[in-house]
Structure formats: C-alpha cells, structure tokens
C-alpha cells in the first residue's frame, strides 16, 4: 500500500509541476505579448526624407513625455509591402496619397474606426479627403504639399498686367520677358515624379478632373503592383496618355509643347532638378518657375523674396477644381488605444504647427498656425476647392526604371 501511495504521490507531484510550468508559461507569455503590444511600430511609406525626419523627431518627443515606446521603419520598393508590415509588426503607417495610401488601406483591420471627432478642426475639402469604409474612418489626412507657380514680382509690376489669373496672363508676361537668348519659364523636368505631377496638374487645369482620373487609370493599368515587367512599354503609355483619339491629356501636352516652341519654357528644364531651380531663382536666371511647397521651403530666402506664389490657373470655377497637393495620411492598421492616441496627437493644433514649421507643408486644420505665407496660401486654396489630387507621379507604383523610361519618352517628345 505504501508503494502505491508513493506512486500516486509522484504522479501528483509531476502533474502539479506541469500545471505550475504551464501557468508560468502563460504568465510570461502574456507579459511578453503585453510588451509587444506596448510598442507602436510606425511605417513611413513614400513620404520623403524631410517628412520622415519631422515625424520621427516629433513622435520621439511624444514617446518620451508619454512613456510610450515607438519604433520607425521606412518601406522600400524591393520587398513586398505585406512582408514588410508583418516582419516589422507595423501598426501605424504614415503614407502619401496615391498608391502608398491605397496599398496601406488593404491591410487595415475591419474594426479600425478613427473617431469622427478627430476631424472637427478640418475645413470641408480636408473632411472630404478623410477615407471611410462601411461608415468607419480608416485613414486621416495630416498635412499636404502643393504644386505652385512662382512669379518674379518686379517683372510682373513692370509688365503692365493687372493680375495673373489665367494661363493667357502667364503667357503674356512670359512674352514680355522673353528674348532670343532667354526663356523665362522653368521647372525640374529631371525629377520624374515631379514631371508627372506637373503634367497632371496642368491636365486638371486645362482638361478637368475627369481627364486627370482617366490618366490615373491608364498609369495603373500599365504596371503590375510596381514589379518590373518586360510588358511595360513607355512609348505605348505616352501614346495612351497624349496621342491616341481617346487619350485624356492631348491638349495639355500640345499646350506645353507650344510654350517650348515659342521659347517661353527653357529647354534646359529637361535637365533641371529642384536645386537647379533654386540656383536659377537666386541668380535671376528664371522669372517664372513651377515647383512644390516642400521644395519652395528649401530655397534660399534671398531668392524667395523676389517671387510671389500662385496656384495653377484654370478657366474652371473653384468648385470644379482639384489642385495637385499630395496629402500625407495616418493609417492605423489595428484598433487600440495607444495607436488611436498617437493619431489624435498628430492632428492636434500644436503638433500640426510643429509639423508644418519643420516640413514647410500646409496643415489640414483651419485654425492651426503656419510657418509662412506660402503654407497659408496653400491651405486657403485647398479650402476653396475640392479634395486635392495625389499627383500623377504618386498614383501608380512605378519602379525607378519604369519612371525613368516614361519620363525620358515624355521629355524627348516635349523638347524636340
């Protein structure tokens, strides 16, 4: 009997130890899981180095003050987005409008619903930019860039023109400045994304939002998830956009080519990057240039003081306009208090002010303070129109070789 009792005692002891081990495993597992959930992993998707730096610095400060761990990761085009999200446990993406936003939204959990109260300080066109699905808010605009035209104030005053309100006015001014040796209009044509954004902005102004949207669909159909393919044909894509009978932007390309042939757009524009435009403006080698709000912010103050910024003009009324102003979105992939808290922080007036000051971009809140007149003007222009466009250069997930091929074909036809 004693042996039997000992046997049961040993079995009971082993069972108790197993139970204790299981309990400890669960406890430590929960603690480990809790530590993982405490960490917010933020992914940057196609938003540019200046924005990444601004968001990283600002969120790092928030993490310190709130005792909240935050890590950062930049998406790349060489690895599948799904793999990058899973491997880096991303739960919040800061994405540019266009393909980056569209790809990000496909990984948002069904229960994610950003509180509508977060939009309370936005003006109407930015509320229109909020992304919803089945009555739930899935992505929130945070700030935006803008495509602008800068005009030499002195040349305008001497031209005798009363105002610059149409492309006809811009042409008149350019003709007055133009000489055999000097073409007054320039832009950064060597920047492939900017080139497409510029053409898209011109397309919206001259041929309407529907033409822009049709061009977007053509671009998306020409690629397969941004993966390089032998089937990509830049020449055919150029024809579909500008040449064939039902092309969406034939007049846009024709008009730009006419400005080149008249000697009003500098042929050197095909070689320029934004830094070249800065130098040209600084040394008075251009009097009308097309750029972005973010690039404008990096230009030297001495060159900026001589220029005034306007939006891309059109004969259409404001309610028919949709300016090219690439918006940066917050896209929470999961629903939890910590991620929601970060999104709410990013939309707070003081944070909006800080982000605009460090990036040079414009806020989505109507009463947020802005760093300069250009940022304030961009907010006013967007508030007076409809939801902004991402820009043709942001709409489709081209690889770098594809972008270079397409821009090369466009520039060849535009300048020769």
Mention every residue, 6+ apart, whose C-beta is less than 8 A from residue 158.
Answer: none
The rounded distance, in Å, linking the Cα atoms of 393 and 397 is: 9
Q: What is the SS3 assignment for 379? A: helix
The rounded distance, in Å, linking the Cα atoms of 142 and 274 is: 24
Give me the pLDDT at residue 32, please: 39
DSSP string, 171-189: HHHHHHH-BTTB--EEE-T
Residue the block writes with tokens 């999200």: 85
Is residue 335 within 8 A of residue 109, CB to CB? The reply is: yes
Give me the pLDDT at residue 210, please: 97
Residue the block writes with tokens 């008249």: 262
Question: Which sign does the torsion angle of CA 218, 220, 221, 223 carry?
Answer: positive
Kindly tell me the number of DSSP H helices and DSSP E strands found in the chain. Answer: 19, 11
Is residue 103 within 8 A of residue 350, CB to CB? The reply is: no
Buried b (16+ CB within 10 A) or exposed e, 190-211: bbbbbbbbbbbbbbbbbbbbeb
Give me the pLDDT at residue 78, please: 86
Domains of the chain: 40-144+327-383 (3.40.190.10), 147-324+392-415 (3.40.190.10)
Ordered mean pLDDT values, 10 residues apiece, the chain (416 residues): 50 59 49 54 95 95 88 93 96 97 97 96 96 97 96 95 94 96 96 98 97 97 62 93 98 98 97 94 93 87 83 93 97 95 94 92 94 92 96 95 96 95
Give me the pLDDT at residue 231, please: 76
- Which DSSP category does 224 fall into? B
Nearest to 41 by CA among 62, 72, 86: 72
- 172 alpha-carbon distance from chain centroid: 33
How close are the terminal C-alpha atoms of the chain, in Å?
Answer: 105
Q: How far is CA 203 from CA 198, 314, 322, in A?
A: 8, 10, 11
Nearest to 289 by CA among 306, 192, 372: 306
182: left (phi over 0), alpha (psi -120 to 50) or beta: beta
pTM of the model: 0.89
Chain segment 249-285, per-residue pLDDT in tens: 999 999 999 999 999 999 999 999 999 999 999 888 9
Is residue 372 within 8 A of residue 304, CB to CB? The reply is: no
The rounded distance, in Å, linking the Cα atoms of 212 and 204 is: 6
């Amino acid at each position: 009997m004693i042996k039997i009792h000992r046997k049961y005692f040993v079995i009971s002891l082993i069972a108790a130890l197993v139970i204790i081990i299981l309990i400890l495993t669960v406890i430590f597992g929960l603690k480990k899981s809790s530590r993982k959930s405490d960490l917010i992993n933020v992914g940057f998707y196609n938003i540019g180095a200046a924005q990444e730096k601004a968001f990283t610095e600002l969120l790092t400060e928030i993490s310190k003050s709130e005792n909240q761990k935050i890590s950062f990761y930049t998406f790349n085009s060489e690895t599948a987005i799904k793999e990058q999200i899973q491997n880096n446990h991303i739960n919040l993406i800061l994405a540019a409008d266009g393909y980056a936003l569209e790809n990000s939204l496909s990984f948002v959990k069904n229960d994610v619903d950003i509180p509508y109260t977060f939009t309370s300080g936005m003006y109407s066109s930015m509320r229109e930019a909020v992304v919803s699905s089945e009555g739930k808010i899935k992505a929130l605009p945070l700030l935006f860039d803008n495509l602008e035209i800068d005009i030499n104030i002195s040349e305008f005053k001497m031209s005798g023109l009363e105002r610059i309100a149409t492309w006809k006015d811009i042409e008149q001014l350019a003709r007055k400045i133009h000489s055999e040796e000097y073409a007054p209009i320039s832009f950064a044509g060597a920047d492939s994304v900017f080139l497409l954004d510029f053409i898209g902005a011109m397309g919206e102004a001259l041929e309407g939002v529907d033409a822009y949207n049709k061009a977007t669909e053509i671009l998306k159909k020409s690629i397969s998830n941004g993966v390089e393919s032998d089937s990509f044909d830049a020449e055919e894509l150029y024809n579909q956009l500008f040449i064939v009978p039902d092309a969406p932007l034939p007049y846009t390309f024709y008009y730009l080519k006419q400005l080149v042939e008249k000697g009003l757009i500098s042929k050197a524009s095909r070689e320029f990057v934004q830094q070249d435009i800065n130098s040209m403006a600084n040394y008075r080698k251009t009097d009308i240039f097309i750029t972005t709000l973010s690039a404008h912010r990096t230009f030297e103050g001495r060159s900026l003081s001589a220029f005034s910024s306007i939006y891309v003009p059109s004969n259409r009324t404001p309610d028919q306009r949709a300016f090219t102003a690439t918006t940066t979105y917050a896209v929470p992939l999961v629903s939890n208090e910590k991620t929601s808290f970060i999104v709410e922080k990013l939309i707070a007036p003081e944070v909006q002010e800080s982000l605009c000051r460090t990036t040079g971009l414009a806020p989505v809140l109507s009463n947020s303070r802005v760093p300069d007149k250009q940022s304030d003007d961009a907010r006013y222009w967007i508030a007076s129109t409809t939801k902004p466009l991402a820009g043709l250069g942001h709409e489709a997930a081209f690889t770098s070789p594809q972008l270079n091929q397409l821009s090369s074909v466009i520039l060849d036809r535009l300048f020769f």
